[in-house]
């Protein structure tokens, strides 16, 4: 099997590793330069939102048949045991409240995307049946004849026909050299604006939905404690605030978050409506004002005013995209899209990368189970994965409310407490929080939603039943007293369905308790 992987990010690198471990000939093509090189600029010109690695992503790497891979990745991560909610009390004092992710002590991990990519690519590069090609741009795919075409560059410069870099004194060609390759299976792991998906849509009837929400994001950095003017109360180990939490400054329509990095900095993200960004761009003075009003303690304590303005001006203000499509395959043409190419989602559940890595595990489980019939394997894969991808996409969108408002909602916190109590004290009840199911298990996303909906129904019935119990008991008591005092038999209560009989029986039982 010759397998071509387009995209050398974490999902593409893991997909290539899975294919290589099965003895296939693997070629990986990446538009950018070597992602292990610090000088390689990400496509969105920023470090990107720090990634949260949870059980699904770890399990996918665990199943790659690379014994040292997981340990190498985890050694470069920081445990995050919960959310740290930053706020302000009535006296204006900055407050911090820790909300643990899990009653059983489980946690997610902060991981640097570049470090994760480096470990995966290093693992690939040591395999004899893998070839890595950087500065290659996919320009066409013919799924029927199983050929693809790419433009080839070296360090961003055109190449001559023999692969040597063009002489800088010569007039460069109008366009880079185009090469043609064959494949038996092509895996599109090339992100939200996937070229593989674009060409696949020419060959099949793909349902496709792309949505932008009215929220932009911008990246900031909190320096180590020694460079912060006033570290927070939870500062530890050289970090300006707790290194073992995902930090949230919630607000009504905006949010500021911070995720720890191994160099003791925090990669931070401001999420706010487009109108807020427009206001901030038009008035430099409004930036610190909005931070002071909505994100207490950030300025000047953790980020200096000058650094805040500099980073807001320098770093791009980027949109948030959500993509759903179906199917995720072209068969019998041997094409599959994975990760953001198949289901780009909002970052508010921290599942984008984890879902992409899980795509790889699920795909190869189907290919292994149907080795004699790859077409059937791809069909069964997309039948399973599409509903799961749509589900986590929806959950990620809904979790924006939880992060910027729900974390302060008494109703949300009460439900979380009840579900965690049942999970801890009555595990046989099967109750678990939605977050625990998503982040600490490998249960299918679609099954998670079904289970949580059932839990919601049970809890709602319990709440209603508890609220009505005093009134029902009181009515039953008075019916029993009436029957006993008059001796006329059971009182007739209208309403059908034996309501009078049931109330009278309940009253008799209550009466026996007190007599």
pLDDT grade, residue 419 (50/70/90)? confident
How does pLDDT run across 169-185, given as a tens digit for each residue?
556 555 688 999 999 99
- Domain coordinates in residue numbering, the chain: 2-76+112-161+171-206+327-400, 211-318, 407-466, 468-514
- CA-CA-CA-CA torsion sign (65, 68, 73, 75): positive
| Residue 126: predicted pLDDT | 86
| Residue 409: predicted pLDDT | 67
Beta strand ranges found along 331-410 (DSSP E): 335-337
DSSP 237-265: TTBSS-TTEEEEEE-SS-EEEEEE-TTS-
Task: Give me the mean pLDDT over the 99-124 stretch.
Answer: 94
- The token pair that represents 31 in the structure block: 């538009």
Residues sharing a CB contact under 8 Å with residue 245, sequence separation 6 or more, in sequence order: 80, 81, 82, 83, 84, 98, 234
Residues sharing a CB contact under 8 Å with residue 85, sequence separation 6 or more, in sequence order: 96, 97, 98, 99, 248, 250, 407, 408
How does pLDDT run across 308-322, given as a tens digit for each residue?
999 999 999 999 999
| Residue 481: predicted pLDDT | 61
How does pLDDT run across 278-312, given as a tens digit for each residue?
999 998 789 999 999 999 999 999 999 999 999 99
| Residue 484: predicted pLDDT | 63
Q: Are 367 and 377 in contact (CB under 8 A)?
A: yes
| Residue 511: predicted pLDDT | 55
| Residue 458: predicted pLDDT | 80
How does pLDDT run across 213-241, given as a tens digit for each residue?
999 999 999 999 999 999 999 999 999 99
Which has the minimum average pLDDT: 100-104, 188-192, 430-434? 430-434
Instruction: Tell me how far apart the alpha carbons of residues 148 and 331 are, in angstroms, rounded to a whole number.
Output: 16
| Residue 462: predicted pLDDT | 65
pLDDT grade, residue 504 (50/70/90)? low
Q: Are 177 and 158 in contact (CB under 8 A)?
A: yes
| Residue 163: predicted pLDDT | 45
Going by the DSSP 8-state scheme, the letter that residue 145 receives in this structure is: T
Task: Give me the mean pLDDT over the 112-128 stretch.
Answer: 94
Residue 389: name the closest of 319, 341, 452 by CA: 341
Q: Are 456 and 442 in contact (CB under 8 A)?
A: no
pLDDT surpassing 80 at residue 465:
no
Residues sharing a CB contact under 8 Å with residue 444, sequence separation 6 or more, in sequence order: 384, 388
pLDDT surpassing 60 at residue 119:
yes
Instruction: Tell me how far apart the alpha carbons of residues 41 and 463 are, in angstroms, rounded to a whole number.
Output: 53
pLDDT surpassing 80 at residue 167:
no
pLDDT surpassing 90 at residue 13:
yes
pLDDT grade, residue 475 (50/70/90)? low
In this prediction the pTM is 0.84
What's the alpha-carbon Rg for the chain, to the nearest Å? 28
Q: Are 113 and 47 in contact (CB under 8 A)?
A: yes
DSSP 287-350: HHHHHHHHSTTIIIIIS-HHHHHHHHHHS--EEEEEEEEE-SEETTTTEEE-THHHH---GGGS
Task: Give me the mean pLDDT over the 352-361 stretch.
Answer: 98
Q: Which CATH fold topology does 2-76+112-161+171-206+327-400 show? A: FAD/NAD(P)-binding domain (3.50.50)
pLDDT surpassing 70 at residue 44:
no
């Amino acid at each position: 099997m010759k397998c071509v992987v387009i995209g050398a990010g974490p999902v593409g690198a893991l997909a290539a590793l899975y294919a290589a471990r099965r003895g296939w000939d693997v070629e990986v093509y990446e538009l950018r330069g070597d992602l292990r090189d610090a000088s390689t600029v990400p496509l969105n010109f920023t470090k990107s939102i720090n990634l949260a690695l949870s059980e699904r992503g770890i399990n996918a790497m665990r199943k790659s048949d690379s014994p040292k891979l997981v340990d190498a990745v985890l050694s470069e991560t920081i445990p995050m045991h919960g959310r740290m909610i930053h706020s302000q009390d009535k006296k204006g004092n900055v407050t911090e409240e820790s909300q643990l992710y899990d009653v059983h002590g489980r946690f997610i991990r902060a991981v640097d995307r570049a470090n994760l990519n480096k470990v995966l690519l290093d693992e690939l590069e040591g395999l004899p049946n893998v070839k890595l090609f950087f500065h290659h741009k996919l320009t066409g795919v013919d799924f029927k004849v199983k050929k693809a075409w790419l433009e080839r560059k070296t360090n961003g410069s055109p190449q001559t026909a023999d692969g040597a870099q063009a002489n800088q004194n010569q007039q460069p060609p109008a366009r880079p050299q185009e090469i043609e390759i064959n494949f038996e299976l092509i895996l599109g792991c090339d992100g939200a604006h996937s070229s593989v998906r674009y060409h696949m849509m020419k060959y099949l009837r793909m349902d496709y939905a792309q949505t932008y929400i009215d929220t932009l994001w911008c990246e900031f950095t909190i320096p180590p404690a020694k460079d912060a003017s006033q570290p927070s109360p939870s500062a530890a180990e050289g970090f300006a605030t707790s290194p073992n939490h995902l930090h949230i400054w919630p607000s009504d329509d905006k949010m500021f978050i911070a995720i720890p990095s191994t160099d003791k900095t925090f990669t931070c993200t401001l999420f706010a409506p487009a109108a807020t960004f427009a206001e901030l761009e038009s008035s430099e003075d409004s930036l610190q004002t909005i931070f002071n009003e909505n994100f207490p303690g950030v300025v000047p304590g953790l980020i200096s005013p000058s650094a805040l303005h500099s980073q807001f001006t320098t770093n791009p203000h980027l949109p948030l995209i959500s993509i759903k499509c179906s199917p995720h395959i072209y068969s019998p043409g041997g094409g599959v899209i994975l990760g953001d190419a198949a289901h780009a989602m909002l970052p508010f559940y921290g599942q984008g990368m984890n879902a992409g890595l899980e795509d790889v595990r699920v795909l190869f489980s189907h290919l292994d189970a149907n080795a004699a019939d790859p077409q059937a394997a791809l069909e069964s894969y997309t039948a399973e994965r599409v509903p799961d991808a749509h589900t986590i996409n929806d959950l990620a969108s809904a979790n924006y409310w939880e992060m910027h408002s729900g974390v302060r909602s008494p109703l949300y916190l009460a439900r979380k407490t009840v579900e965690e109590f049942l999970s801890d004290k009555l595990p046989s009840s099967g109750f678990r929080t939605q977050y625990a199911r998503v982040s600490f298990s490998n249960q299918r996303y679609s099954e998670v939603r079904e289970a949580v909906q059932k839990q919601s129904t049970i809890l709602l019935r319990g709440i209603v039943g508890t609220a009505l119990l005093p009134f029902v008991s009181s009515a039953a008591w008075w019916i029993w007293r009436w029957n006993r005092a008059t001796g006329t038999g059971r009182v007739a209560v209208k309403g059908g369905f034996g309501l009078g009989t049931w109330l009278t029986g309940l009253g008799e039982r209550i009466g026996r308790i007190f007599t």
